[in-house]
Each structure stands twice: as structure tokens, then as C-alpha cells.
Amino acid sequence: MFKTLLKKQLMEIFRSYFYNSKKNTARSKGGTAGLFLSFAFLIVVVIGGMFTVLSFVLCESMAESGMAWLYFAIMGMLAVLLGTFGSVFNTFSGLYLAKDNDLLLSMPIPVSAIMCSRLLSVYIMSFLYSGIVMIPAVIVYLATVSASVTAVIGCILMVLLISVFVLTLSCALGWVVAKISLKLKNKSFVTVIISLLFFGAYYLVYYKSEEIINDLVKNAVSYGTAIKSSAYPIYIFGSVGVGDIFSMLIVTFVVAALFAVMWFLISRSFIKITTSSGSGAKKKYKRTAVKQMSIDKALFFKELKRFTASPNYMLNCGFGIILLPVFAVFMLFNGGSLKMFVGGGSFSAILLCAAVCALVSMIDITAPSVSLEGKTIWIAQSLPITPWQVLRAKLALQIVLTLIPAVICEIVLAFVCPMNAVEMIFFFIFPILYTFLSAQFGLFLGIKMANLNWTNEITPIKQSACVFIALFGGLGYAVIFLLGYLMTSAIFNSIYGFVGYMLIFALLNVVFNIILYTWLKKKGSYVFAHL
């Protein structure tokens, strides 16, 4: 029974490797094997290789200065961080709030067997994520510094202790996430905010990583002395890897004690959490007047609620909404370097126009909007409204959500990089025209390449050709716009040349907008009505 439950847990984790949600069929053995090989390549070669290089950079220099324990402390904390982040959400969904809780608890299966199988699956993922950091670190240390018996024992013990500590920490954080999730109302926005914070932290660390590593190597002794005097537990933790007997005993005892506490708390609260419905306190009914909306307004808010109800939809198709103001803030503090690099004048206006258009192209809400109707598309088709009204609401959502941050971004950029009156006019008009073009082009592709037979919304959002073409086609348009000016700079080297170049592209935008608008209103509405 335990073996069957564990197999079920692992198959749920790697469900997409066995099942094609886009085609709603099981994958072939060859396809499954290919996906697992790709996953192994990513984990072992790409991520493992990255930490191997980091280990080579830190290990020998720190060992030579007598700071081998600091090397293990740094790599160990990285392993704990990566392992916890990689497995905490699996703990949340797999251990506590799994979808088959009611089914399994209603069967003659011991609760301890269910809990142990889920804990073991979490441990496997914890070991996987922490191991891709610690195993390369251990191998590099044993190969380049010391392979004595105590060092080997200490390294192996540290890998195991970190994996158990990550399991304990993941279970504790997963419990917190599960408890919060049961009470939370706006889960989609919380998911988006957490994801954005993670992306921001990741790119900040990536941007500063070389500087941090160089600083660690140069000042290892001073940092080590400071840590040893003010943060002694970190010294004990790192000393396990170098084979210090006292440190191994202390850390083993602490990790074992924490695991025992975690096991005790989970065993007492497992049933309560897994059987929770998540319903909050009852609300007292209050009679309120419901205001009547126009059809267009009602359809617009319906599309807005669909967009804000899905973290995947918001993150993948609305990322540019965040990037536009972020770019504006970045330029507000770093715009001087741009002026020094390209100077002012026409090229600066062209470059900023291309940058704003590139960020606008990362908002492709309309591209998957038709496919997201899925099997409920008959509801929109059966309502006493025209198909054009439905399509117009989808267009309006992207245009409204794009224009507001785009105009704010343009105002900031115009303040940072002053332009003359002619350049200012085109700088404001061109991205607005492109916003309408991007929205209509995405909806055009969404109708022509509609996929209504999906089982997971991520299929039309991330795995559809229309989203791919809309995103990279828009980016390509912005690049062509910029490169075209650079290639014809000998012709368009005056203010009149700038006006001519901008007029050509602005007129192209107007023409494409008219063509797409006409097609969507007539042919597109007909196709939508018969999907």
C-alpha cells in the first residue's frame, strides 16, 4: 500500500511528463523518456554545472586561507534556500491540500500511510533541489582539498542533514501557506505579487552575483572571523562539511530534534488541515441595490474578472503592465547615461519609442482570450448580444490595461529625455497607435488559431502558437522600427527626415489598424459565432 501511494504522489508531481493536457491523451513512452532526459539534463548539467563552477571559484581559495568551513556554510545555505523554495509549494499542494484528500481518507487506508507517503515524496524533491547545490560542492571539495575519512563522512552527513532540514523547513512553511490559503480571498493577486518579488530578487542577485563572489573571495578571512564571533551556529553548521566531530554531533542532534517536532505537529494537525473546506466566517446578508450596466460595460468587467482570476494569465500575458512603470522608474534614475550614450534629438526619440513598443508587445491579453472561453464558449454565443460586442470587450481590456501604464511611462521618459515639439508629438502618438495594433493583431491570431479543447488553462496561455507569434511578432516589429532608422540614418538625418520616417510607420500602423478592425468586425465576428 505504501509503495502504491508513493508512486501515486510521484506521478502527480511529474504528471505533465506522462499526460499531454493539450491533446488530452497519455504521452508515448518515448515522449515521456525524452521529457525525463530533458529534466535530468536541466538539473544535472545546467543547474548542477552552474553550482559546480561556483564551487571551483570558492572552494580552493577559501580552503587555502583556512576558511573551508565558510565554503560549506555558504554552499549549505544556498542549498537550504533553493531546496526550500523548490519544495515548499509542492508541500503545500501535495502534503496538505491535495485534491484527493477526501477520496483517500474515505478508503480503508491508515492515515499514517498517507502522511508518510506524502512526506517521503516531499523529501525526494527536497533532496533533489538541495542536492544539485551540495553534491557538486562536496565533489569539488573532496577532489581539490581533502578526501580523508572524516572529510568524506562529514560531506555525506552534511548532504543528508541539509535534505532533512529542508524537508522540515518546507513542511513548516507549507503548513503556514496552507493555513493562509484557507483564509485568503484574493489568491490570484497574492500569487502574482509573490512571483514578481521572486523575479525581482532573482535578477537582483544575478546582477550582483559576480560582485558578491569576488568580495567573498577577497575578504573570506575577515568575513569568517566576524561570523565565527557573532554567528557561531553558522560556523558549527559549516564545520560539518570539513569533518569536525563535535559539529557533526551538534548539528545532527538539532536537525533530528527539529524533525521530531515537525513530525509531532503534522501528525496532530494533518487530519484537520486536509479536511478543511476553507470556508470563512458567515456573512450577514444585506439588501443592496444592484445597478444596471450597459452591455459593453458588463462584458468588459467579465473579461477583467477572467484576467484577474488567473495568476498564469496575469503573469504570462500582462507582464508588460508591470515592466512599463518599472522601466519608467529605471530611466528616471538612469536616464542621464542614455543621454550621454546616444545624445538627444531624433535618435533618442526613436530608441525610446522602440523600447516602449517592445514593452507593449509583452502585453498579449487578447491572443489567448478566445481560446480561454473553452467549452463554455456557447454561453457567449447564445447571449442576446452580437459577436462583435464580445470581441470588442476583449480588445478594450488590453487597450485600457496597456494605455494607462504606457502613457505614464511616456510622460516620465519625455521628462528624462527632453525633446522638441515635433519629436514629442510622434513619441506620444506612435506607441498609442501600436497599442491598438498589438491588441487587434493578438485577437486576430486568437480567432484564427482558437483552441477550445484544453484541460489546463496554461495550454492556451503559454503553449499556443498565437501567443508565441503575438509576442515575438510584436518584439520583431519594434526591432525593425529601430533598425530601419539606423539603416537609413543617412537619409533621415534631419528633423524633416525624422518626420518622414515616423509618418511612414505611423501611416502603416493606421492602415494595419483599419484592416484588422474591419476584419474583426465582419469576418472575425462570423468566425467567433461559429467556433
pLDDT tens sequence across 320-379:
888 899 888 888 877 666 655 555 567 788 888 898 999 999 898 998 899 888 888 888
Q: How many CB atoms lie within 10 A of CB 130?
A: 27
Q: In this structure, is residue 287 part of a structural domain?
A: no
Identify the domain containing residue 424 by its residue range.
Answer: 295-529
Asked if 82 contacts 129 with a C-beta cutoff of 8 angstroms, the reply is yes
Q: Could you tell me if 382 and 254 lie in one domain? A: no
Of 283, 310, 303, residue with least CA distance to 366? 303
The pLDDT confidence band at residue 309, using thresholds 50, 70 and 90, is: confident
* pLDDT at residue 436, rounded to an integer: 94
| Residue showing cell 537609413 | 488
Of 105, 99, 84, residue with least CA distance to 270? 105
Sign of CA dihedral 279, 280, 285, 289: negative
Q: Could you tell me if 319 and 351 lie in one domain? A: yes
| Angstrom distance (rounded) from CA 205 to CA 199 | 10
* 32-83: pLDDT as tens digits: 888 888 888 888 888 888 888 888 888 888 888 888 888 888 888 888 888 8
* 6-42: pLDDT as tens digits: 777 777 667 777 777 666 677 888 888 888 888 888 8
Residues 6+ apart with CB under 8 A from 387: 380, 381, 525, 526, 528, 529
Q: Could you tell me if 389 and 349 lie in one domain? A: yes
Q: In this structure, is residue 284 part of a structural domain?
A: no
Q: Could you tell me if 238 and 372 lie in one domain? A: no
* pLDDT at residue 292, rounded to an integer: 76
The one-character DSSP state at 92 is I
Domain count, the chain: 2
pTM for this prediction: 0.69
* 247-272: pLDDT as tens digits: 899 999 999 999 998 888 877 777 76
Q: In this structure, is residue 460 part of a structural domain?
A: yes
Decide which of 227, 245, 274 is a domain's last residue.
Answer: 274
Element (H, E) at 250: helix 245-274
Q: Could you tell me if 301 and 269 lie in one domain? A: no
Q: Could you tell me if 488 and 347 lie in one domain? A: yes
| Angstrom distance (rounded) from CA 273 to CA 1 | 23
Of 485, 307, 514, 506, residue with least CA distance to 401? 307
Q: In this structure, is residue 286 part of a structural domain?
A: no
Q: Could you tell me if 136 and 192 lie in one domain? A: yes
The one-character DSSP state at 25 is E
∠ CA(104), CA(108), CA(113), 5° rounding? 65
HEC letters along 206-223: HHHHHHHHHHHHHCHHHH
CA distances from 332 to 318, 345, 410, 411, 515 (A): 23, 18, 11, 11, 37
The pLDDT confidence band at residue 204, using thresholds 50, 70 and 90, is: low
Q: Could you tell me if 267 and 337 lie in one domain? A: no
Q: In this structure, is residue 289 part of a structural domain?
A: no
| Angstrom distance (rounded) from CA 32 to CA 17 | 5
Identify the three-state secondary structure at position 20: strand
* pLDDT at residue 7, rounded to an integer: 74
CA distances from 479 to 57, 318, 323 (A): 38, 20, 18
Decide which of 274, 307, 329 is a domain's last residue.
Answer: 274
| Angstrom distance (rounded) from CA 216 to CA 74 | 10
* 397-410: pLDDT as tens digits: 999 999 999 999 88
Q: In this structure, is residue 285 part of a structural domain?
A: no
| Angstrom distance (rounded) from CA 324 to CA 407 | 9
Q: What Rg, from alpha-carbon coordinates, does the chain have? A: 28
Q: Could you tell me if 308 and 393 lie in one domain? A: yes
Q: Could you tell me if 213 and 362 lie in one domain? A: no
Asked if 13 contacts 90 with a C-beta cutoff of 8 angstroms, the reply is yes
* 469-524: pLDDT as tens digits: 988 888 899 888 888 887 776 565 555 577 888 888 899 999 999 999 999 999 99
Residue 211's identity, in one-letter code, is E
Cell digits for 26? 497519455
Q: In this structure, is residue 308 part of a structural domain?
A: yes
CA distances from 31 to 14, 67, 143 (A): 13, 47, 37
Q: What is the mean pLDDT of residues 131-139?
A: 90
Decide which of 274, 305, 329 is a domain's last residue.
Answer: 274
Of 234, 208, 218, 246, residue with least CA distance to 75? 234
Q: What percent of the chain has pLDDT over 70?
A: 80
Q: Could you tell me if 312 and 227 lie in one domain? A: no
Q: Could you tell me if 469 and 320 lie in one domain? A: yes
Element (H, E) at 19: strand 19-20
Q: In this structure, is residue 283 part of a structural domain?
A: no
